[in-house]
Chain A
């Protein structure tokens, strides 16, 4: 295994070196770095051109320029990167830091959401192959996949930002609209839940009646401007979760799982009151620490009370604890929302990753970042959703044809066990490769998404550098994306080997 990794690393370095040389030559020949000055009518045009030629070493031959860059960049190995300066005299390393963090923030969440949802949809459509749901989802994913990013961004801004903000100023939903929403949601939900005709009908009717009522009720509560939840709701929801998680995993009779789950739900309530004032003035560390505790404590409770079922008990308890903690955070977000609307009257913005000079509490900034991220994340997620769901679907279908699945079924295992234990795990193997590539590709920046939403990320660094025929930023971009591509490639291979014992070397 080590030999394999070292061999791969060695060839990766060779690839990076060759590609950097090629890219450097391409970039410095991509245009005329003096073009803006050539059309200038400044009196000292010649002087300015000479200054830029000297500054950018344009008179040196390509190999010297490349060598200068390479010696600077290779010092990254000893932690003293010198990636040069861009055409404006700014350190490229600083630009790169900002661009990379901005892109990661933009892309990370979208990728995770796309992967989770895409895989879930893929499994669902594979299990219900050739059903109405399958056809609908196939149609939608292909539609999303082929959306022009630019145009979709304009639509999102129009409806989810401008339209929503206008609506939020005075939220109204007419009775007719609520009923229509209920009917549509009912149709969709019955498709997802499936079952016999009778069950579908009941699902549809319940949803179609329930949703309009909720909508009107929330409007009466003025929920959209003053959302509220409170401890009672959290308790009800966590207890319900504890019950259903127990039922789904081992059944209600198994007290070794039920009790720790219920204890975790009770702990959530205790934690709600205990942390109330702390969370009112929270900071990022409090949230991270709290998240860790919400996993560790219920986990321990489950582990020690679970006896022979300690793994399952711990899993159920952690789920309950973590969701409860999440609900607590949402409760605080709800409390902060009216105040947030006062500092940012139109919450969903069309540009940027944060509101400049926003004055407010931690939660205001939290909500600000979230609302700014919303549109680009939705856009990136729905576009990459398609590939995940399609790959998962075909991979699942393929696995389901295998003999061992038939064996598992004939042993009398429940359909859920067959699908999740035996089929799904094996179907995930090829997905691991795709996820690794996808993430490496996304670090390169979603150029168009960045530009239409006014983010300055990796894509922007690349494009701006290229337009100015300025090699330093382009090479910095390459250094990160190239390395990421190579590393994730390697990672995919290693994960592949871990997941599939057959190909271990």
Chain B
């Protein structure tokens, strides 16, 4: 047989090929890789407060840390327009721009001393003086000046518009500074100092954005000098600014994968954009001309990865830091990796609550029934079963304006709430229902579906409150918040959802005030309105605290709703990465990315 001969030849040939392939093993003599000891693989610098840790002298390490905050693609250098604003985009661009303040891990506001300082010089009218550091400059060498503050003000100014306020010149996510600070930042365009004067007292003045994008680039693209730009903005000359505004709105939007010209995108923060591979990753590289504490690691690569792929990518060292949605499964997988990873767990500034519907004719306009419902909601059980597996330190939340991990939480809760709804009291609830002749009251709990956790919460409430005589119904609906949906029609007794804390002091006014846009349940209480008005017009933190105590007490006594818990957060990092710290704020795990560094 021919075939047999051939196959023999092949066998001999294969053996020969192997023998010929090499006479000696390849590579260096010792093939055992030397075990590297990671000395001090702990968490890095000592943490003293909720702000950025002091790392001492930092020299940028030539290394790359790869991380992901989620699957969505990078959008634009300008993440401040309604189209481009997203937490994912912000987690990248926020590394590139310095602001006068930043949020610590518990939402506390800290000044960013790298950029400059500020002080309140008058209470009435509220006037703040900002001083930019002498050496603060954009990465192209242009000094950071008042002109940049004027740009930040202009983009948030609806008075610069094409005819009417709903057609603003600059399409920005934040829009109120034109009315609250009518004159904008005062001071010579090229000076390092400016003052801003608020028309009304604004308790949240510290977190207003006064530093955003480079004014000299926007002015130049608009065919103006920086001085002309500042003059036109202050004069409200919309016509003159049109071209510059068009550039601000669209000029930084590029084809996915191509970055704008480097000259057009100088940065004021520790990192700048280096490369972008569409659909894959964006790499930031350290801004060599940064005037403050330099970045600890030279490159940060943000990859766009789905939650489902994150843990294995971390295990395979394709990623160093991941920020998945917190689920019990993900946590279990991470815990399975043992010492190879550090897991960061904790609360976030988003909190879940049950809100009553106060619309006319609704059963819960009756305070007694609200009390009965509050008695039977098994809050501790919900936290124990649904939240503690993710965050062992989770607590039942007993306030609306402060979170359990914040400093003044205990003081405010002590003043506002006596613990009467801590324990489930079925008998008490039953008694009230019988007294009110309301046994069998239907309670439709509405929420946005699909949301497994909320479905479980409703189930827990049902099994407890049905014993007391309510008839709880799961009214979860994908269109709960949509126009014509359950919430819009008012076809619910209790709404179950969450607010994301923004760090603002006065934002609650929009939720609890009569006729305010976020007061979905149409709650109205004159006293609450009055206390909020006092709070919002004061600049004194002591007053804020006292007012918060009063408001919380009123909302507890009147039972606006029932706070449940703060949402848990989860992230993980390779154990060789130092200084990765959990934060409760929406900045997410990347909030201190400029401090991350791989252990030697």
A interface list, Cβ under 8 A from B = 31-32, 34-35, 38-48, 50-52, 54-55, 87-91, 94-95, 98-99, 102, 150, 154, 157-158, 161-162, 165, 169-170, 206, 214, 217, 220-223, 225-230, 232-233, 236-237, 239-240, 243-244, 247-248, 251-252, 338, 345-346, 348-354, 356-357, 451-457, 460, 464
Sample (19) of A-B pairs whose CB atoms are under 8 Å apart: A31-B479, A41-B518, A51-B82, A51-B171, A90-B253, A99-B279, A221-B22, A226-B26, A228-B22, A232-B17, A233-B20, A237-B17, A248-B2, A338-B26, A351-B319, A454-B280, A454-B303, A456-B279, A464-B72
Q: Contact between A46 and B11 (Cβ–Cβ < 8 Å)?
A: no
Contact of A98 among B5, B83, B256 (CB under 8 A): B256
Q: Is the CB of A35 within 8 A of B518?
A: no
Residue of A nearest to B75 (CB): A88
> What is the CB-to-nearest-CB distance from B26 to chain A, in angstroms, rounded to a whole number?
3
Q: Are A157 and B304 in contact, CB atoms less than 8 angstroms apart?
A: no
Q: Does A237 lie within 8 Å of B309, measured CB to CB?
A: no
Q: List A contacts of B6 (CB < 8 A).
A: 243-244, 247-248
User: In the complex, what distance in Å separates the CA atom of A95 from the CA atom of B278?
Assistant: 9
Q: How far is the CA of A228 from the CA of B66 in the complex (A)?
A: 32
Chain B, residues 154-189, CB within 8 Å of chain A (1/0): the string is: 000000000000100001011110000000000000
Nearest CB of chain A from residue B364's CB, rounded to whole Å: 21
Partner of B303, one of A52, A98, A227, A352: A352
Query: How far is B73's CA from A457's CA once the two chains are assembled, in angstroms?
Result: 12
Q: Is the CB of A452 within 8 A of B309?
A: yes
A243–B309 touching, CB < 8 Å: no
B175 touches A47 (CB 8 A): yes
Inter-subunit contact A161/B83 (CB<8 Å): no
Give bound CA distance, A387 to B174, whole Å: 55
Residues of A within 8 A of B2 (CB): 247-248, 251-252
Task: List the B side residues contacting A352 at CB < 8 Å.
Answer: 280-281, 303, 305, 318
Whether B56 sits at the interface, judged by CB under 8 Å, is no
> A98–B279 contact, CB under 8 A?
yes
Q: Is the beta-carbon distance between A35 and B482 smaller than 8 angstroms?
A: yes
* Chain B residue, CB-CB nearest to A453: B309
Is B502's beta carbon under 8 Å from chain A?
A: yes
Q: Which residue of B lies closest to A456 (CB)?
A: B279
| Given A44-B176, A88-B75, A352-B281, 20 further pairs, Cβ under 8 A | A40-B500, A43-B507, A55-B83, A98-B257, A102-B279, A157-B312, A162-B312, A217-B18, A228-B21, A236-B17, A239-B13, A243-B9, A244-B10, A247-B3, A247-B6, A349-B313, A349-B316, A353-B279, A451-B71, A460-B279
Q: For A91, list chain B residues within 8 Å (CB).
A: 255
* CB within 8 Å of A: which B4-57 residues: 5-6, 9-11, 13, 16-18, 20-22, 24-27, 31-33
**What is the minimal beta-carbon distance from A182 to any residue of chain B, in angstroms?**
15
Contact between B9 and A244, CB atoms less than 8 A apart? yes
Bound form: Cα–Cα A55–B250 in Å = 13
Chain B residues near A (Cβ < 8 Å): 2-3, 5-6, 9-11, 13, 16-18, 20-22, 24-27, 31-33, 64, 66, 71-73, 75-76, 81-84, 86, 166, 171, 173-176, 250, 253, 255-257, 274-275, 277-281, 283, 299, 301, 303-306, 308-309, 312-313, 315-319, 448, 478-479, 481-483, 485, 497, 499-500, 502, 507, 510-511, 517-518
Query: Which one of B71, B299, B318 has the greatest number of beta carbons of chain A within 10 Å?
Result: B318
Distance of B309 from chain A, by nearest CB (Å):
5
Contact B71 A357 (CB under 8 A): no
**How distant is A71 from chain B, measured CB to nearest CB, in Å?**
22
Contact among B18, B66, B83, B482 with A89 in the assembled complex (CB-CB below 8 Å)? B83
Q: Which residue of A has the minimal Cβ distance to B166?
A: A50
Q: Is the CB of B253 within 8 A of A89?
A: yes
A240, B510: Cβ atoms closer than 8 Å: no
Q: Assess whether B83 is in contact with A454, with CB atoms less than 8 Å apart.
A: no
**A452 to B277, Cβ gap below 8 A?**
no
B22 interface neighbour in A45, A230, A455, Cβ under 8 Å = A230
Residues of A within 8 A of B315 (CB): 162
On whether the beta carbons of A351 and B313 are closer than 8 Å, the reply is: yes
In the bound complex, do residue A44 and residue B31 qualify as a contact, i.e. CB atoms below 8 Å apart? no
B306 partner residues in chain A, CB cutoff 8 A = 451-452, 454
The smallest beta-carbon distance between B79 and chain A, in angstroms, is 10
A42 CB contacts on chain B under 8 angstroms: 173, 502
* Structural contact, A350 and B278, CB atoms closer than 8 A: no
* Contact for A357 among B253, B256, B299, CB less than 8 A: B299
Q: Which chain B residues border A157 with CB–CB below 8 Å?
A: 312, 316
Which residues on B sit within 8 Å (CB–CB) of A227? 26
- C-alpha gap A357/B500 in the complex (Å): 36
Contact, CB under 8 Å: B277 / A454: no
**Residue in chain B with minimal CB distance to A98:** B278
User: CB distance B21 to A220 under 8 Å?
Assistant: no
CB distance B507 to A454 under 8 Å? no
User: What are the 8 closest A-B residue pairs judged by CB atoms, nearest first?
Assistant: A226-B26, A456-B279, A226-B27, A89-B83, A32-B482, A38-B481, A240-B13, A232-B20
Chain A residues with CB below 8 A from B308, complex form? 150, 451-452
By the criterion CB–CB under 8 Å, are B309 and A454 in contact?
yes
| Residues in B neighbouring A52, C-beta threshold 8 A | 82
In the complex the two chains form, is A456's CB within 8 Å of B73's CB? yes
The residue from A51, A150, A154, A165 contacting B316, defined by CB atoms under 8 A apart: A165
Instruction: Among B308, B312, B448, find the residue whose CB has the most chain A CB atoms closer than 10 A.
Output: B312
Task: Kindly state the separation between the CA atoms of A134 and B349 in the bound complex, as whole angstroms.
Answer: 60
- Closest chain-B Cβ to A239's Cβ sits at a distance in Å of 8
Report yes or no: B13 in contact with A222, Cβ–Cβ below 8 A. Answer: no
- In the bound complex, CA of A223 to CA of B175 (Å): 64
Instruction: List chain A residues, Cβ under 8 A from B507.
Output: 41, 43
Q: Which of A45, A48, A348 has the most CB of B within 10 A?
A: A48
Known: A102-B279, A244-B10, A352-B318. A39 touches B21 (CB 8 A): no
B209 to chain A, nearest CB (A): 13
Chain B residues with Cβ under 8 A from A460's Cβ? 71, 279
- The answer to whether A41 touches B511 (Cβ under 8 A) is yes
**Cα–Cα distance between A38 and B517 once the two chains are bound (Å):** 10
Cα–Cα distance between A454 and B256 once the two chains are bound (Å): 16
Contacting residue for A225 out of B20, B31, B82, CB 8 A? B31
What A residues does B72 contact at CB under 8 A? 464
Our pick among B21, B27, B255, B304 for the contact of A454 (Cβ within 8 Å) is: B304
Interchain CB contact under 8 A, A229 and B312: no
Q: Which residues of A contact B304 (CB under 8 A)?
A: 454, 456
Q: Which of A41, A350, A356 contacts B301 (CB 8 A)?
A: A356
B305 touching A88, Cβ below 8 Å? no
Known: A223-B26, A236-B16. A353 touches B280 (CB 8 A): yes
Cross-chain contact A89 with B84 (CB below 8 angstroms):
yes
